[in-house]
């Protein structure tokens, strides 16, 4: 963990708070800084904000902040001495000093050495390109499409190679110069006593080149925002929240290597069905008379069409009837779930005089039946049966 150094009293507070500009804390990791920079750069990029001086100024400010905070040495100086320290070159005496002035973290050094052999650089010292950033979006489908599967054209924005410079970031090939600090290798070697190690070149940030006159379209980035379309195949039985990966359809870096596109499936609310994993729930409303006497009703099917089901006499409110294999398809088992018919009783809230009279007669009939059953239980009782 980086030490949080307080600037000496004789240095003025920095005019610009680079951490605030990127919206990160002072203890932010390199990845957090990179992620914050990318989001802000996309938001304020001149391509997205044509003729917007404020956005252009913000874009320059963001780049300035990232230039400092993405460089470990510049960041250390900035944390300790502020912007004045960067301008005066304070602490940049290099490595030809005693051990008391040697402030580089050995963990970072050795990690960087191993990375040079197995990570960012190849064994010949050539920089390996990292693929572009992965992108994630939501894709909305209907329940019917989730049942049967569907092909959809998905339109989105991603970073792609600049048409003007082809990804070089330069106005012309003559604007690209070999970095004088690292000699085009992207790495510099330092020695301190018995130690010798390599690090990413602080001048070219590992690119091995310096662009003197950047491309006017991409501002030297080599990539710009472009609208992109791709056909997405969504398999049958997909569930809400499932993630689909489309390889190579994410952001493109200035070397032409793409990240991946990730799409999270969002299934729209259905007016008839409720999904429970691979089962479908359908509510059927019936009248009290139909529940008492039994009836037959039609219900819709997710694949289209309808089917009839019998509701037996004496069906209670909340009773579940099951239609086997009329639900969603299980994508692995290639078998369908069931359709669950949830019975709901319609209780009348207003009756005609005739209907009310009929219900009262029915009630009298039920009450009389209950009274007779009660008398049968009480008639004679236990002792009468014994003595008779």
- Same-domain check for residues 289 and 334: yes
Q: Report pTM.
A: 0.59
Print the domain residue range for 315: 273-346
- Same-domain check for residues 287 and 333: yes
- Same-domain check for residues 325 and 363: no
- Same-domain check for residues 337 and 284: yes
Query: Is residue 207 situated within a structural domain?
Result: no
Each residue of 183-241: pLDDT tens digit? 888 888 876 555 567 788 888 888 889 999 999 999 988 999 999 999 999 999 999 99
Question: What is the overall mean pLDDT for the chain?
Answer: 81
- Same-domain check for residues 357 and 342: no
Q: What mean pLDDT do residues 1-21 have? A: 53
Contacts 24+ apart (CB under 8 A), 21-26: 21/61, 21/62, 21/64, 21/65, 22/62, 22/65, 22/66, 22/69, 24/69, 26/79
CATH number of the domain to which 287 belongs: 2.60.260.20
Listed residues 314, 330, 346: the one ending a domain: 346
Q: How many domains does the chain have?
A: 2
Q: Which pLDDT does position 271 carry in this prediction?
A: 95
- 3-state helix/strand/coil string of 281-312: EEEEEEEHHHHHHCEEEEEECCCCCEEEEEEC
Angle at 136 between CA 134 and CA 142, to 5 degrees: 145
Query: Is residue 215 situated within a structural domain?
Result: no
203 and 182 Cβ atoms separated by less than 8 Å:
yes
**Length of the chain, in residues:** 388
- Same-domain check for residues 305 and 365: no
d(CA 129, CA 121): 9
- Same-domain check for residues 342 and 357: no
* Nearest Cα residue to 135 out of 154, 162, 161: 154
Q: Which pLDDT does position 118 carry in this prediction?
A: 37
Q: Which pLDDT does position 192 carry in this prediction?
A: 56
Query: Is residue 311 situated within a structural domain?
Result: yes
For residue 114, pLDDT beyond 60: no
Each residue of 296-317: pLDDT tens digit? 999 999 999 999 999 999 999 9
């Amino acid at each position: 963990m980086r030490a949080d150094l307080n600037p000496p009293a004789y240095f003025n507070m920095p005019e610009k708070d680079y951490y605030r500009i990127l919206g990160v804390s002072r203890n932010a990791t390199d990845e957090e800084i990179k992620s914050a920079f990318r989001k802000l750069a996309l938001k304020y990029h001149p391509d997205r904000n044509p003729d917007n001086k404020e956005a252009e100024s913000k874009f320059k400010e963001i780049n300035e902040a990232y230039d400092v905070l993405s460089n470990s040495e510049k960041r250390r100086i900035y944390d300790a001495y502020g912007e004045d320290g960067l301008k005066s070159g304070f602490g940049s005496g290099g490595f030809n000093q005693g051990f008391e002035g040697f402030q580089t973290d050995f963990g970072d050094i050795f990690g960087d050495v191993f990375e040079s052999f197995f990570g960012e650089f190849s064994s010949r010292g050539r920089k390996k390109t990292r693929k572009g950033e992965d992108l994630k979006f939501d894709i909305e489908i209907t329940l019917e499409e989730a049942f049967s599967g569907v092909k959809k054209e998905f339109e989105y924005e991603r970073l792609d190679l600049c048409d003007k410079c082809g990804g070089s970031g330069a106005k012309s090939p003559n604007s690209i110069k070999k970095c004088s600090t690292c000699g085009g290798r992207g790495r510099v070697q330092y020695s301190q006593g018995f130690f010798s190690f390599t690090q990413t070149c602080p001048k070219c940030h590992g690119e091995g080149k310096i662009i003197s006159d950047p491309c006017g379209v991409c501002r030297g980035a080599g990539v710009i925002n472009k609208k992109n379309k791709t056909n997405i195949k969504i398999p049958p039985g997909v569930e809400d929240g499932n993630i689909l990966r489309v390889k190579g359809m994410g952001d493109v870096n200035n070397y032409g290597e793409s990240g991946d596109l990730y799409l999270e499936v969002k299934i729209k609310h259905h007016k008839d069905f409720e999904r429970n994993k691979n089962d479908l729930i359908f509510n059927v409303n019936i009248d009290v008379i139909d529940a008492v006497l039994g009836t037959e009703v039609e219900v819709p099917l997710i694949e289209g069409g309808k089917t009839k089901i019998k509701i037996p006499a004496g069906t209670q409110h909340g009773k579940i009837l099951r239609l086997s294999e009329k639900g969603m398809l299980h994508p692995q088992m290639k078998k369908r779930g069931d359709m669950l018919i949830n019975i709901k009783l319609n209780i009348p809230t207003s009756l005609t005089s005739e209907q009310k009279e009929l219900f009262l007669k029915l009630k009298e009939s039920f009450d009389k039946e209950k009274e007779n059953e009660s008398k049968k239980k009480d008639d004679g009782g236990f002792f009468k049966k014994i003595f008779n």
